[in-house]
């Protein structure tokens, strides 16, 4: 009766190993993202940042669609095939290239989609060619993750990409304050592509003896269509608010909102970076028809992510005005939006992690729920803005409407997805512990003490207050809220036995 314990422990160790790597990547990404926000805000201003934000939004959704769900579906395709894995992954790269060609052609033909509230200038029409770099990078990193090579993803997404865009944005600001951010974005995507493809070729090799099987490629694309839809809808849920703002407000308002969103979405990137390691573990357990193990894996990763996002909520949310002020004095007005978005990230995390299980056991129902949540968010976003305008409220309050709509919609979606996954797996998928709320309260008290300091000590609010808030939250959580399995996240995985 005790035999299943070993595989279960192996799964937790695999998740913990990937989690440690991803936390390192998260910290590295944070260290690089904050300089970019500072440079973009100070050197370019809200209007240029707003134009950049919408263009990148459209490029990223096009690239997401071009991957055809392979970021998560490739693991299942590799687990179920008898063909050499190198052939399957090169099929996937070819699929991404074909879809990228279609997506970029459409955007080149209709560039106004990328700039709905401003004219198209210079070479901006050719920006959609970046779709190739983003899509191919995503697919190759997913292939590497199947073999538990998470380090490549950390290098590409948490080191190369953010540091390249930060340094390039600073350098290009001396060349053109109109186009510098776009140049920096293109350069960072090309650098991330190189950092993804090089380890991919080392791991899988060049496709010797490979002949594209178009029937298999079409079948792969069709099979992953629901995953592509789920990915696009989840991404749209986190970004449609920006597009709605572009339709209703000036680029400057979008730029301020975007900066708040970038700070608030830092923890969300931690969740997305868990997908590559969680997907292979879940698919392996499902292949063995061990649904209880899937529930345990989802519950474990969900708790880690919720804890990390709550830590970011208190660290960035309590001194919100100071954080936004670092980006630039014009951005302080976005502090309230940032707080709402931070809360939304915590509320959304349960549904986002549960979706990793649902896409394999109820992908079509998951797709319908995600679509309903997105439509609800869009309706609430327009509704909140129009009500605020009718009441004569200020523009910052109006612009917070999409953030409030996001928080409301993702909360409903999280509840529905958690209930459905629990029923399908026959085991709980959410871990709620009292220490979680105690840690938030304790961190809040420490933060309140620093924010109440006299104005002449304002410097201490960020330099001392933010580390103190984080230490307080982590101490309470790790000391009183973490189980032995949770602490596996901080332990080095024992060396593997030589006999395999």
- pLDDT tens column, 328-379: 889 999 999 999 999 998 888 888 888 878 878 887 888 899 899 999 999 9
Element (H, E) at 378: helix 363-390
Instruction: Give the residue carrying structure tokens 């608010």.
Output: 241
Pick the range with the lowest mean pLDDT from 189-198, 226-235, 269-278, 343-352: 269-278
Whole-angstrom Cα distance, residue 31 to residue 200? Answer: 26
pLDDT at position 341 is 92
Count Cβ atoms below 10 Å from residue 115 Cβ, excluding itself.
19
- Is the CB of residue 154 less than 8 Å from the CB of residue 24? yes
Local confidence band at 276 (pLDDT 50, 70, 90 cut-offs): low
pLDDT at position 484 is 72
- Tally of residues, the chain: 500
- Distance separating the N- and C-terminal Cα atoms of the chain: 23
Average pLDDT over residues 253-279: 76
Instruction: Give the residue carrying structure tokens 């809040």.
Output: 444
Round the average pLDDT of the chain to a whole number and report it: 83
Whether the predicted pLDDT of 491 surpasses 70: no
CA torsion angle 169 174 176 179 (round to 10):
0
Count Cβ atoms below 10 Å from residue 464 Cβ, excluding itself.
13
Pick the range with the lowest mean pLDDT from 125-134, 174-183, 269-278, 361-370: 269-278
Joined together, the tokens standing for residue 426 give 């026959």
Whole-angstrom Cα distance, residue 182 to residue 114? Answer: 12
Give the pTM.
0.80
330: which DSSP letter?
G
For residues 214 and 359, which has the higher predicted lDDT (pLDDT)? 359
Among residues 93, 87, 92, the alpha carbon closest in space to that of 211 is found at 87
- Is the CB of residue 89 less than 8 Å from the CB of residue 244? no
Cα 320 to the center of its chain, rounded Å: 21
pLDDT at position 449 is 92
Q: Is residue 184 domain-resident?
A: yes
pLDDT at position 95 is 85
Average pLDDT over residues 36-44: 91
pLDDT at position 32 is 72
Q: Is residue 442 domain-resident?
A: no
Q: Is residue 132 domain-resident?
A: yes
pLDDT at position 268 is 63
Whole-angstrom Cα distance, residue 67 to residue 227? Answer: 10
Whether the predicted pLDDT of 3 surpasses 70: no
- Which residues have C-beta within 8 Å of that of residue 350, sequence separation ≥ 6? 302, 306, 414, 417, 418, 430
Whole-angstrom Cα distance, residue 187 to residue 178? Answer: 16
pLDDT at position 269 is 61
CA torsion angle 362 363 369 371 (round to 10):
-170
Average pLDDT over residues 478-494: 67
In the chain, how many domains are there? 1
- Is the CB of residue 175 less than 8 Å from the CB of residue 234? no
Whether the predicted pLDDT of 5 surpasses 50: no
pLDDT at position 70 is 74
Encode pLDDT of 151-189 as tens digits: 788 788 878 998 999 999 999 999 988 889 999 999 999
pLDDT at position 189 is 96
pLDDT at position 496 is 43
pLDDT at position 494 is 45
Average pLDDT over residues 109-133: 87
Domain span holding position 169: 5-432
- Which residues have C-beta within 8 Å of that of residue 17, sequence separation ≥ 6? 148, 150, 277, 493
pLDDT at position 488 is 59
For residues 127 and 117, which has the higher predicted lDDT (pLDDT)? 127
Pick the range with the lowest mean pLDDT from 25-39, 231-245, 336-350, 482-496: 482-496
- Which residues have C-beta within 8 Å of that of residue 380, sequence separation ≥ 6? 401, 404, 405, 408, 409
Whether the predicted pLDDT of 327 surpasses 60: yes
Whether the predicted pLDDT of 214 surpasses 50: yes
Q: Is residue 176 domain-resident?
A: yes
Average pLDDT over residues 59-82: 78
Local confidence band at 482 (pLDDT 50, 70, 90 cut-offs): confident
Q: Is residue 408 domain-resident?
A: yes
Q: Is residue 57 domain-resident?
A: yes
Q: Is residue 454 domain-resident?
A: no
Whether the predicted pLDDT of 134 surpasses 80: yes
- Is the CB of residue 165 less than 8 Å from the CB of residue 40? no
Q: Is residue 446 domain-resident?
A: no
């Amino acid at each position: 009766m005790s035999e299943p314990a070993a595989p279960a422990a192996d799964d937790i160790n695999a998740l913990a190993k990937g989690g440690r790597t991803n936390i390192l990547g998260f910290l590295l990404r944070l260290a690089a993202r904050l300089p970019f926000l500072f440079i973009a805000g100070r050197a370019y201003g809200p209007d240029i940042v707003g134009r950049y934000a919408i263009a990148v939004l459209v490029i990223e959704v096009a690239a997401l669609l071009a991957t055809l769900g392979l970021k998560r579906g490739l693991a299942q395709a590799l687990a179920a095939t008898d063909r050499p894995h190198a052939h399957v992954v090169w099929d996937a790269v070819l699929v991404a290239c074909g879809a990228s060609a279609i997506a970029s052609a459409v955007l080149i033909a209709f560039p106004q989609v990328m700039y709905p509230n401003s004219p198209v200038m210079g070479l901006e029409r050719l920006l959609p060619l970046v779709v190739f770099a983003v899509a191919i990078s995503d697919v190759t990193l997913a292939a590497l993750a199947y073999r538990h090579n998470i380090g490549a993803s950390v290098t590409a997404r948490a080191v190369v990409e953010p540091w390249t865009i930060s340094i390039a944005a600073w350098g290009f600001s001396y060349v053109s304050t109109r186009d510098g951010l776009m140049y920096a974005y293109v350069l960072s995507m090309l650098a991330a592509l190189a950092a993804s493809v090089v380890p991919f070729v080392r791991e899988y090799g060049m496709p010797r003896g490979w002949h594209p099987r178009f029937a298999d490629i079409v079948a792969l694309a069709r099979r992953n269509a629901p995953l592509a839809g789920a990915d696009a809808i989840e991404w749209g849920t986190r970004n449609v608010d920006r597009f709605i703002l572009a339709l209703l407000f000036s680029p400057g308002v979008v730029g301020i909102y975007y900066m708040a969103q970038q700070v608030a979405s830092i923890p969300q990137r931690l969740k997305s970076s868990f997908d590559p390691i969680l997907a292979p573990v879940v698919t392996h357990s499902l292949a063995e028809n061990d649904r209880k193990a899937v529930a345990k894996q989802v519950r474990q990763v969900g708790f880690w992510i919720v804890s990390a996002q709550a830590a970011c909520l208190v660290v960035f949310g309590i001194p919100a005005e100071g954080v936004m002020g670092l980006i630039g004095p014009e951005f302080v007005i976005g502090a309230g939006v940032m707080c709402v978005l931070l809360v939304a990230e915590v509320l959304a995390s349960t549904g986002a992690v549960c979706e990793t299980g649902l896409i394999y056991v109820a992908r079509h129902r998951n797709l319908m729920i995600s679509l309903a949540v997105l439509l609800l968010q869009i309706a609430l976003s327009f509704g909140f803005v129009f009500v605020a305008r009718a009441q004569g409220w200020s523009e910052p309050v109006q612009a917070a409407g999409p953030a409030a709509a996001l928080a409301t919609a993702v909360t409903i979606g999280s509840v529905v997805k958690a209930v459905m996954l629990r029923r399908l797996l026959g085991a709980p998928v959410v871990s709620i512990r009292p220490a979680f709320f105690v840690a938030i309260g304790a961190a809040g008290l420490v933060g309140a003490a620093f924010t109440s300091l006299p104005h002449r000590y304002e410097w201490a609010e960020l330099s001392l207050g933010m580390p103190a808030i984080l230490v307080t939250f982590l101490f309470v959580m790790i000391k009183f809220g973490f189980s032995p399995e949770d602490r596996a996240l901080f332990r080095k995985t024992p060396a593997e036995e030589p006999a395999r």
